Amino acid sequence: MAVVGRVARAHGIRGQVIVNIETDFPEERFRPGAELFVDRGGVGPLIVGTVRFQHDRPVIGFLGVDDMDGATALAGAELRVPIDRLAALPEGAFYHHDLIGCQVHTVDGAPVGAVTGVEGTIGRSRLVLDTERGELLIPLVSEICTTIDPVAKRIVIDPPEGLLELNTRAT
């Protein structure tokens, strides 16, 4: 299953929650009637009953979650959909889960690290790598990420001088 959002917190007293979006298709994923899955002691579905957007984040009311206690219990939960329900992406676009686990090498074959996450928004995304020197951020742009092969779990980068040393964060 792919993560499409995370419940940030309860909102109000009628069981609504505020969701941090982790999808490029929020209007599709968070519409009334949409089925999302959450692990509450076992993976189960939640059906979106109501939705409105506030400051670019959805405020969602799920069917069967009718009070603040029920909404508070969802805080921090990952909202997921089955991978087979994801829309096909255009050439050169990738879902975050496709990139996680990819091994990153430079164009001359030197290993850099493994992708552990993707941060940012469309057009401003960064790969988060686990390296021997700590966490490393690599801009996800075609000028740097010259080859992305999620099937082979391999990404080739051509980093500008100093990039690999500049933004390493010790872990």
The domain spanning residue 106 has which CATH number?
A: 2.30.30.240
Q: What are phi and psi of 96, to 5 degrees?
A: -55, -45
Domain check: are 133 and 79 in the same one?
no
Q: Give the pLDDT confidence of 65-95 residue by residue, as tens digits.
A: 999 999 999 999 999 999 888 877 778 778 8
Residue-averaged pLDDT of the chain: 89
- Which of 66, 85, 104 is at the close of a domain? 85
* Strands lying side by side in the sheet with 103-106: 145-149, 154-157, 103-106, 111-119, 126-131, 134-139, 168-169
Q: Give the three-state DSSP class for 56.
A: coil
Residue 127 lies in a domain: yes
pLDDT class of 120 with cuts at 50, 70, 90: confident
Domain check: are 80 and 105 in the same one?
no
User: Which sign, positive or negative, has the C-alpha torsion 16, 21, 27, 32?
Assistant: negative
Q: What is the mean pLDDT of residues 103-128?
A: 88
Yes or no: say if 16 and 50 are a contact pair by the CB < 8 Å rule.
Answer: yes
Domain check: are 8 and 56 in the same one?
yes
Domain check: are 68 and 138 in the same one?
no
Q: Which residue has the tokens 């096909």?
A: 88
**pTM for the whole structure:** 0.67
Q: Pick from 85, 83, 137: which is nearest to 115 by CA?
A: 137
Yes or no: say if 3 and 97 are a contact pair by the CB < 8 Å rule.
Answer: yes
102: domain range? Answer: 96-165
pLDDT class of 23 with cuts at 50, 70, 90: confident
Domain check: are 76 and 115 in the same one?
no
Q: Give the three-state DSSP class for 85.
A: helix
Residue 128 lies in a domain: yes
Angle at 142 between CA 138 and CA 148, to 5 degrees: 80
Domain check: are 76 and 137 in the same one?
no
- Percent of residues in the chain assigned helix, strand, coil, to nearest 5: 10, 45, 40
Q: What is the mean pLDDT of residues 32-58?
A: 90
Q: What is the mean pLDDT of residues 34-42?
A: 85
Q: What is the mean pLDDT of residues 56-61?
A: 94
pLDDT value at residue 170? 54
pLDDT value at residue 92? 77
Q: What is the mean pLDDT of residues 5-12?
A: 94
Please count the structural domains in the chain.
2
Domain check: are 36 and 65 in the same one?
yes
Domain check: are 107 and 80 in the same one?
no
Residue 171 lies in a domain: no
Percentage of the chain beyond pLDDT 70 is 95
Residue 91 lies in a domain: no
Q: Pick from 108, 102, 110: which is nearest to 151 by CA?
A: 102
Domain check: are 103 and 158 in the same one?
yes
pLDDT of residue 150 exceeding 70, the answer is yes
Domain check: are 100 and 155 in the same one?
yes
